[in-house]
Amino acid sequence: MSVESQSPSDKLPLSRRQFVARAAVAGVAVSVAGSVEALYTAQPALGTSGPKIGYGPLIEDPHGMLDLPRGFSYNVLSREGTVRPDGLKTPSRFDGMGTFPDRQGGNRLVRNHECSPTATIKVVAPPERTYDPGGAGGTSTLVVDRHNHTSKEFVSLGGTAINCSGGITPWRTWLTCEETEAKAGTTGYTKDHGFIFEVDPYDDRRNVNPTPLKDMGRFQHEAVAIDPATGIVYETEDAFVAPLGGFYRFLPNRPRGGWGSLRAGGELQAMHIPGLPDLSVVQEAGAEFHGVQWIKVPDPLATTESVRAQDYGKPITGGYKLEGCWWGTRDRCVYFVSSFARTELGPKVDHDGQVWRFDPRKKTLRLEVIFTRPSPGSDNPEFDAPDNITMSPYGGLMMCEDGLGDQHILGTTEDGEVFKFARNRVNNGTAEEPEYGELAGAGFSADGRTMFFNVYNPGITYAITGPWRRRR
């Protein structure tokens, strides 16, 4: 996530990376506590748990691009600044991304560009696919053949702002989320921002006249996940400044879904757990809370106050930097991530990442995993807490690092230990240029053969193949 994306003014008194830098000086490492069984079985998988000890040590890439374990290889699908057939350059800041099977046997990717007006290369879309001429963000669509070569790439949405993450719908479209609360008249915008937009990866004619899904709220959106049985959409809020971000659900007027169904509106609600206004205080994996309630959001458009700061009559339950969100198709529960928490930024208790599971049928919220700081001398790999996160079809979590120093794709073993799967060699984050090196947008193809992900800045999109079934 870009530092500038975290508040309406696009400026922060203290950035996440400044925090990471302080942690790095202290040599902070992170380990996983709690049962990861629920995470492994949340989705149908070719394996029921992660590999024994990872896929082995990383082999240095002679091309200086990406280090991977033995037997794995990469293709570069797209680079920032490449001149496309339309004469325009590929925009900057590659972030969240959705992966869709292509009818020709390959894949289609819809990639976010988390661009603000300060981006090196802004998103430029045709007028009919531009929401706000003052917006610099948007999405690109890539058509990738079965050999993982890009056959086509174009801008599918423009004129939005700071497109961070999102989610895939059951009807195979991409919901791209603006992580900002900027209003018209600020930083060159001619319209309000902070909305969700729907992008069709197959039929670009549907992407004309971009329509913000206003009933789904205007706030610092991060990610979404949809219950295919009910159509309910769950939404995370990546709030970096007080008050804490909320966890929301949207009850659509057209729950059966389909292209454009979310434009029919619905009701946005915020999660409330009696006696638990701050998720950071929960430090014990396995802690479970019953009787989860949902309160209607008074003003989803946040005309005078941020959605999370409005008067609900009782405090909504919030978390610091609520980011990744996905639906467990096997257990029919929704999972979401709190990336980290630090008391000096608002939360009551520190942690290095939480993974929560909400069960809609039982109305329970359970802390499945917490990322904790082990004792001095631990040999666990250092990393900066989870950011973009996905489930491997072979079991376990795959997580993208976002911080300073070496940046990795990380996985978890069947015992919950963390291992390094990939290392970015092109560049790494520094105190002067903290955005460099961040990894984002990880996801697998439908057949499980390929993992796709991005380097944020300068933007690179990779396709990774190899012996995924190997159990080392």
CA 256, CA 454: separation in Å to the nearest integer?
Answer: 32
For 379, list phi and psi in degrees, rounded to 5.
-100, 15
- Find out whether 159 and 134 touch, Cβ atoms under 8 Å: yes
Residue 72 pLDDT: 97
- Tell me the pTM: 0.90
| Helix (H) or strand (E) run with residue 38 in it | helix 37-40
What is the structure's pLDDT at 367?
93
pLDDT tens-digit profile, the chain (472 residues): 433 333 333 322 333 333 333 333 333 344 555 655 556 555 544 444 556 678 999 999 999 999 999 999 999 999 999 998 888 999 999 999 999 999 899 999 999 999 999 899 999 999 999 999 999 999 999 999 999 999 999 999 999 999 999 999 999 999 999 999 999 999 899 999 999 999 999 999 999 999 999 999 999 999 999 999 999 999 999 998 889 999 999 999 999 999 999 999 999 999 999 999 999 999 988 899 999 999 999 999 999 999 999 999 999 999 999 998 988 887 899 999 898 888 898 999 988 888 899 999 999 999 988 876 554 444 444 555 557 778 788 877 788 877 667 888 988 777 767 789 999 998 865 555 555 678 999 999 999 999 999 999 899 999 999 999 875 5
Rg (Cα) of the chain, in Å, rounded? 20
Looking from the CA of 112 toward its CB, the CA atoms found within 13 Å total 35
Alpha helices in 160-250 (DSSP H): none
Report the length, in residues, of the chain.
472
**Amino acid found at 350:** D
> What's the pLDDT score for residue 300?
98
Per-residue pLDDT, 18 = 36
